[in-house]
Amino acid sequence: MLTVSRSLDRVFQIMELFAERRRPLSATEIHTTLKMPHSSAVSVLSRLVDLGYLDQNSETKRFFTSVRLHHLCETLPEAIVRGNPLAELVDRIQHATDETTSISRLDGLFTIPIYVRSAKHSKAWRVTPGLCGGLATHSVVGRTLLSTLPDADLHRFIGDANQWASRTRSVLSDAEQVLRAVEFVREHGYLCRYNLLVPGVGAISCPLAARGDGDHLAVTVAGSVDRIQVRGRQIITALLQQVKSWQGDAASAVDHRP
């Protein structure tokens, strides 16, 4: 029993390391970072490759998460909101804007889309549920989510994000720029930016009131810059109206609970 428990612990430690590093990893890096016996790391990694949850580059010998694992993860976050008024909110916004619409939450220092409705046109932006959206300080949706945090937590978050970026040799966040964006969201109820995280992509994001479990969420409309810029005001109006209506319905449902 102890062996099974230890093996499970090691599987999840390895998966969490991939989630933190966001790049292919060697067996040596994994066992050294996790202070795990090299033979144990190799054994777990080999088994995960056999099961199809990891792939290995035949030349570099580095491991990376597989398409199969991403597909598996896609089915899990959507279950959080499927059949829920949040899903109906996303569907209405997508229909009103004709652009890809998603619900995201904070997951540690990163953003995670948990429910997505993709636009059907040829320029539609593709978002994968459950696939990390990057450091929250770097994106429109991330900065929108950060606007829901108390100031002390917000400043701590920015510091932790820059420590992670420095440790992984990633791009550091401009704290003042992040704080200005957060202030804009708090004042206007949305954030709109172009080419911020991905060149050629525009995004408009709006925070949602915290749920009963304390989870902070944001709804985001994203698409090619040329489409979003031309229809920006229309999209912002539709987004704010739908969110206001949804929050009114949610408040009414709470008021009428037995």
Same domain, 37 and 141: no
Which residue among 24, 47, 65 closes a domain?
Answer: 65
What's the domain count of the chain?
2
Same domain, 7 and 42: yes
Same domain, 249 and 130: yes
We report the CATH number of the domain holding residue 56 as 1.10.10.10
Q: Which domain holds residue 48?
A: 2-65
Answer for the pair 168, 140: CB distance below 8 angstroms, yes or no. Answer: no
Say what the pTM is: 0.68
Same domain, 212 and 102: yes
**Termini Cα distance of the chain:** 46
Q: Which amino acid is at 28?
A: T
DSSP 146: H
Given a cut of 50, whether residue 213 has pLDDT beyond it is no
Reported confidence tier of residue 1, pLDDT bands at 50, 70, 90: very low
Same domain, 39 and 117: no
Which residue among 50, 65, 80 closes a domain?
Answer: 65
Which residue among 65, 89, 112 closes a domain?
Answer: 65
Sequence-distant (6+) residues with CB within 8 A of 190 are 144, 204, 205, 206, 236, 239, 240
> Would you state the pLDDT for residue 83?
54
pLDDT digits (tens, 9 = 90+) for 130-163: 777 889 999 999 999 999 999 999 999 999 999 9
pLDDT digits (tens, 9 = 90+) for 67-111: 566 555 555 455 555 556 788 899 999 999 999 999 998 888 989
> Mapping DSSP to helix (H, G, I), strand (E, B) and coil, where does residue 201 land?
strand
We report the CATH number of the domain holding residue 93 as 3.30.450.40
Give bridge partners of residue 224 from the DSSP assignment: 201
Same domain, 174 and 91: yes
By the 10 Å C-beta count (0-12 exposed, 13-18 middle, 19+ buried), 18 is classed as middle
> Would you state the pLDDT for residue 250?
57
